[in-house]
Structure 1
Amino acid sequence: MPSPLLPTEPEPTAPRRILVVEDSPLNQTLVTAILAPAGYRIETAGNGLEAVMAAQDGGFDLILMDVSMPEMDGLTATRLLRGLPGAAGRVPVVAMTADVGDGDRARCREAGMNDHVGKPIDRAQLLDTVARWLRPAAEREIPAPCAAAAADEDGGVLDPEVLTQLGQDLGAELLGEVLRQFVAETRERVERIAGLSDLALLTREAHTLKSTAGTFGARSLCAAARALEMACRDGAAAPAEALRGDIPRLAGEAIAAYRAAGYLD
């Protein structure tokens, strides 16, 4: 009698490859900490030029693309990606941006981006968006329009809900590590902001500070950086100068508040 056939084991599925394009090492760490435990293989690039070079050979299933970056911004990089031949030019690109107004969304779409997630990064939104764009096209649900970010509420230097969620996402040890990195990066950025007179460069620094401060729950500092960015974009030199003077004090208050809350030694 012939021996019965043994059931065959399914072939293991390779992890889906995601390229995270982000000039802030802190945001790279945070996005990786959220996505890697979900089984995704994460690679990073520090600006749009690096992203285009990494994507040329194909192999990525999804690209998460910051919009405002030095060397080459995310919109320019996406336009170049869409010109690549084959699968490399068709890979879904999801913007990661703190700017979620109608005009910002339209610019992302015009550049060839498929969707976007807001900053500060929300874990559930990021995971849902990534999962949606990794499904076959016929199975994707059409996302609802993203709402604009809520205005900051007057409630203290730090946002405890953001920090609680980060603690759940990252764990206490990793949260302490990234907060120390945030403090070091913020001190360097505050020094650069103090020495800049070029409004275009000041806009970029304020934009990044707004994003990282929001990500790590530095509510007052985030609001001031947002106001500084808007003043710079409007060419309002006098208001920008006044706002710039507040940044060192608010950064110091945020650092002191982290220590008082036990997040930093």
Structure 2
Amino acid sequence: MTRRWREATYRPGRRWTAGRLPAVGYVASVGVLALAGTAAGVGIGAVLTESTSVDRTYQTLAALSDLRRQLADAQRGEQAFVLTADEHYLEPYTTAAAQVPPTLGELRVLIGAAHRRTIDDLQASADATIEYYGQAVTLLRTDGFTTARPAAYGTVGTETAARAQQLISDLHRDQTALLHAQRQRVADRAAHAVFFVVAAVVAAAALVTLSARRARAVAAPASSERPDATWHEPLRVLLAEDDEVNQQVAQFMLGKLGHHVDTVANGRDAVQAMRAADYDVVLMDVRMPVLDGLEATRLIRSELPPGRQPHIIAMTAGVLAEDRAACRAAGMNDYLAKPVRLAELTSALTPLLRTSPGGPARDGADDRDAAVRARMAEISDGEPRGPERTLIGAMLTSFTARTPAGLDRLARLITAGDVSGVRSQAQALTGSATDVGATRLARLLAGVEADARTGRLPRSPATMAAIRAEYDTTAPGFERLAGELTAVSR
């Protein structure tokens, strides 16, 4: 479905009084609202509740796939070190050893008490496997490869690793069966919701028919009072991901957001797909067979003309600043950590939405407003009401009042060559911009912060000029929205 963002003007509507409605017509209108509300509460609410369970199961399957890969990486790194005595080949084990504990913690939260004993067993097997590999590495370093027995060390942890992989397979099978059952329940409850809505409409129509002659005088609000609406077209997304479960999770999220998605399983196919068709966005897994995501991005950037260049977003389990720097150096525009969350994916795609002919575009202003309004709705869990409007309006006003001075300080620190100060100031400004939904400004500032973490500072004045220009473009929208919120709250 095509996503629609509505730019609310918060204009108070006209108040209808009982005196303007014939008595029977008033009763019929109340009946319409009551029946429609019951249908929505019983039917649609049940669908939404079950959809949340489906999302949770998808996340569980993704976490299981991540754990399977991490254990395999740990074994690969340890065995490569045993065979070569080269510390360089130990990196997969080191990375996996840091990733396994948080992944197990996430699984424990996602699966809950129903599989507690299985999760306990899985954690014990996974922890023992990592520990065995670590002991082998330590002994080889201590005893030396001349007196140690590499062949024996290359087989440590085999039993616990096999046990962990078997438990992962069992849980994956159970969660897949659960997912099928949940999706069937979603379909069934959606059908029930449609039935409830149709029943409500039919019953309401009968009530209205009884009082039609006396209720015709009731007029709808004038079209001039309706707020303008902005429609956004769906994005065409190329998903490059080799793991089948991760593919399904990403496809589900993108479909839920209303976007069109094509899927490939390696970097070579991603490059070929970009040669054959135009895409707005590429969600690029960094680690893929045949051709990895970094090299695929370099080929896309070097081969395609400027007019056909997509917005490329990296997807990787790496969480270090060096990982982000490598993605940026390859030509990627953005970065999503695995497992990808729906809220983070929405935030990354929102600034890229295009305005359709149904609503005029103002040099990207609509996209910026949509991102800000989406953030405000996230903060207030829906359209802000009452005191929330005053609070959010004050927050936007504070942002526009304090940011220019913050940008001036950042520029002075860059001129002075203060790398540590630039990193701290850029980090603070990035956080403030992200908090209020200024996503484009946040991305520019995040680039300065990431460079400062590696000891680099902007060499050209164009960097600060672009940041100031983005703020100058964004600020009027903040001021306008703050005024709307404040006016309605009075």
TM-score, normalization by structure 1: 0.47
Which protein has the larger Cα radius of gyration, Structure 1 or Structure 2? 2
